[in-house]
A and B are shown apart, each in its own frame.
Chain A
């Protein structure tokens, strides 16, 4: 490609609005730990979630107020949808799953405010969450069953030996693929939604005409509404899958 031709054909960067820009420069022991805009929004999300549950929990009444019933709705939903197979044992998993759900939901929704980057559209954030879930699952499984019977419980019970030996590596790969699929599902959903929004907006620049403007406006309104739906669904799916992994690791097959 010729140099001048390349300048004209340079693709528009659809990822520009999701770029992390450094706001506060911090360096800890030679490691760059600068606070980017994504980090600050993640801190804001954490502060919102913590203060919401703190305020609601401190003034809990028998007859719930509006905010308290919202919190109870989330708790009851997660308890009945995800933790019902565990029974009373599931109660101690409720705080973990509720905080996971609330953090993902609030960070997804914060990203819809113009000028804000959703923290979950950065693959590092979702990978961290998925790795936390991965280690939580396997450490609880190991502590509950012991190493040998936990390894055996990966393969379904009651299979002939050679089929079990064949299935074991496949199931092991499946276990290791779980954090990867959790990571990419959440990250790509958020990322793709915002990429669609910027693409629709830049149609005006591509066509160099304001007559095209009604289409991006209507399209973006629809996409934004869909993004709110996606924010809830993805938070739910991430929490649901984490809960099912934990339930699967805790339950005895025999």
Chain B
């Protein structure tokens, strides 16, 4: 394979897999947080706050992959 082709392929695979994992992760996080909020509506403010922070952590992993794939794609 040519190096340019493999770089584009690598970029696509990296962001695709990262998006898959991150989507699953955020989905699990949000579903559990909403279960918790439905069970204990009085704690929903705290739960929402920690959910947003946790989502920011998970999201950052996809963004690392995005940076990698942008570096690959603009090579």
Interfacial residues, chain A to chain B (CB-CB below 8 A): 1, 11, 13-15, 81, 181, 184-185, 188-189, 191-192, 195, 233-234, 236-237, 240
Contact = CB atoms under 8 A, between A and B. Distances in A.
B60 A1 contact: no
B64 A234 contact: no
Interface in B45-71: 49, 52-53, 56, 59-60, 63-64, 66-67, 70
Given A14-B70, A184-B63, 20 more contacts: A1-B2, A11-B74, A15-B70, A15-B74, A81-B49, A181-B60, A184-B60, A184-B64, A185-B56, A185-B60, A185-B63, A188-B63, A188-B66, A189-B59, A189-B60, A233-B52, A233-B56, A234-B56, A237-B53, A240-B53
A234 B66 CA distance: 17
Nearest to B4: A1
B4 to A, nearest CB: 6
A240 B53 CA distance: 9
Contacts of B63: 184-185, 188-189, 192
Contacts of A234: 56
12 contacts: A1-B4, A15-B70, A185-B60, A189-B63, A191-B67, A195-B70, A233-B52, A233-B56, A234-B56, A236-B52, A237-B52, A237-B53
Nearest to B65: A188
Nearest to B2: A1
B8 to A, nearest CB: 9
Contacts of B59: 189
Nearest to B8: A11
B23 to A, nearest CB: 15
Nearest to A13: B74
B73 interface: yes
A14 B70 CA distance: 9
A188 B74 contact: no
B55 to A, nearest CB: 9
Contacts of B67: 184, 188, 191
A191 B67 CA distance: 9
B67 to A, nearest CB: 5
A233 B49 CA distance: 10
B56 A192 contact: no
A62 to B, nearest CB: 28
Nearest to A195: B70
- Counting from the closest, the 4 A-B pairs by CB-CB distance are A188-B63, A185-B60, A237-B56, A192-B66
Interface in B23-50: 49
Nearest to B5: A1
Contacts of A188: 60, 63-64, 66-67
A210 B66 CA distance: 29
B74 to A, nearest CB: 7
B56 to A, nearest CB: 4
Contacts of A233: 52, 56
A234 B60 CA distance: 11
